[in-house]
Structure 1
């Protein structure tokens, strides 16, 4: 291990290669990729078509600044992507990842209201949300553990309730929860509020929480009525992950702005997207913003190749089918374990919430580090998982998150669930 790398873990194996939903290290050990890294590698490993597209574009021209040139690669990619986006007359601003996309969308919202002569600057996020680790993205996030070291830099955003059905705070639960959440949002809105940002399906922080069907129609109506731009964070849920091209489609949601990343280039290139509607774009009287690597032609070539593979291999429909298979396998192998409180999700974005008491839904104490121990035991057994903590109250709460490559087959999904159950029994008995 190099002494010059600022590493993100200790005693990590060295990756050698990947094939589909499997990764191998330099010692020859095989790992089933149950999480797609950080829910990124939607196509799996070793897709030569994407690699070739990147190489062709890099050979032709690797980089030009977006203020000096357009590129055929980006023009083509935008035209291919636009019809798939749940945004009216979409305009696509490519960046290098999810955090940059969120920062871009937040600035778009501010610039939109300024162009209309309104000094709106407040953004409302949700409790327990995660939108990125840059300062603006972290400010609108609600994940307490990640925010804590940087609180002196944060504080401009407001937060409302999240549709977390397993621990729903609505007094009418399970009836009318969406309308109740919309009312909580409405109470926070005043003339300073520019935008509301949320994931259509909660990702890492709350673990694949799917809202009730009334949530998004009610929330979208509040935003429209109060003149607040709606930003859909599809960084984790976009590009087929939930069994639709974008999770917004499950509720016919048409956000004013949308952010995406992860599956946009499936890990083959750092690519994020901030998308605004034509109405927002045409209102902007100028947009003071930019990144060195935005509008990158090689990134556009990677994104275009990913779209082609997703389409030709019918992987969006496969995510819906695989999601049902994974749900069934998780319930079969883990559902009866006393520490499994909830199994939830949509498509191939799934989660298991672990609890100390199944009847009362009491979480494990954070000091027990249950999720971390289960993930470590799974890795020892050749399974890669993604975990999250703090879902129950900002401190306690343990989640196992599943976001495998969309190419994973039924046998591998059953192996994933079985190995996860083995790890859980090893840690908790």
Structure 2
């Protein structure tokens, strides 16, 4: 009997762990999937064939280097097949390099992100979001939340941290729920800090011929310590600093101090830790966070240990004696995320549903305006063509009445051409019988 009870307990524990693995913060209704899919039922999008639309856009870009942002929006909103990835990337890049880049619609950016998410192409999605210069895709808070929630559900905390770091790069902390999800993603990443690695550089083949290219000038090396950051730990560290720099509780202090050390701002970290000690703050940071940063400092090679690192290690040892807080910072952050979900989820869903309606209306209004502009342009072209035809016919009818004026105009034109380009050379016509071919001689080579 007792063995069966223990077996049942182990079973329940496994189920609990499994449920925790599959858990997510946002409800299933948060992504508004049904409302999003209803866009394809609109009279406009339901008639669009993505293949034909891409060919038309490609033809416009090849012909004039320009296609309207509304046409790109229609194309992006009709995509469902995974085979369209390259086509979408190509159109976005060409739109970004055109004068229509400033007119890209919010619905286009939303459609692009949801398309990659639906086909589960995280690699391309992250490449597009990180290359804002070439593609110009900027998520909104709702999309940030959907992306991070999905990656957290899949236990892909590296991708979730990459999404959260985009908010840091844009210096956007205007949405409480998005901020808390970003911090949670970064803290989960710290649990397995080596899971995010940079791709190795391409191998260099010594047998390949070296091609030297002349350059006009050399740029001075410059590092802005923001957009130029590439090291994963520094990205996560600066993200934690950005979202916690104004917090003065244990979790906020832990994220701030730990983020500075991961960001390799050792002098600022030492100054911050010293201020905590001097102020006599209780429960300064979590013991677990201090253990993580201690390990990072120990992993620094001997030849790269500076006086700042030595001073920081000394101050951290004093900080450990002041009094740290035991427990798990992840549990506290998880509770904060749940509270933010409770406070903002309903309002976010309501706003997003309203956005879908506004986007449909905006799309139709812009399309009608584009049709009106094209019709107006066509009519103006017809008017100009008719005016030219009338002028030509009028000259023919009044030729004999204005013959002297016409001849005078021709003479003035010939005189102007002669003064500008020189006299007209007279070319004697060679008759077939009198034609003498030119003599071909071998010219000496110039030494």
Asked whether the two chains share a fold, i.e. TM above 0.5, the reply is no
Q: TM-score, normalised by structure 1?
A: 0.23
Higher strand share: 1
- Structure with bigger RCO (C-alpha 8 Å, 6+ apart): 1
Higher helix share: 2
* Larger gyration radius, structure 1 or structure 2: 2
Q: TM-score, normalised by structure 2?
A: 0.22
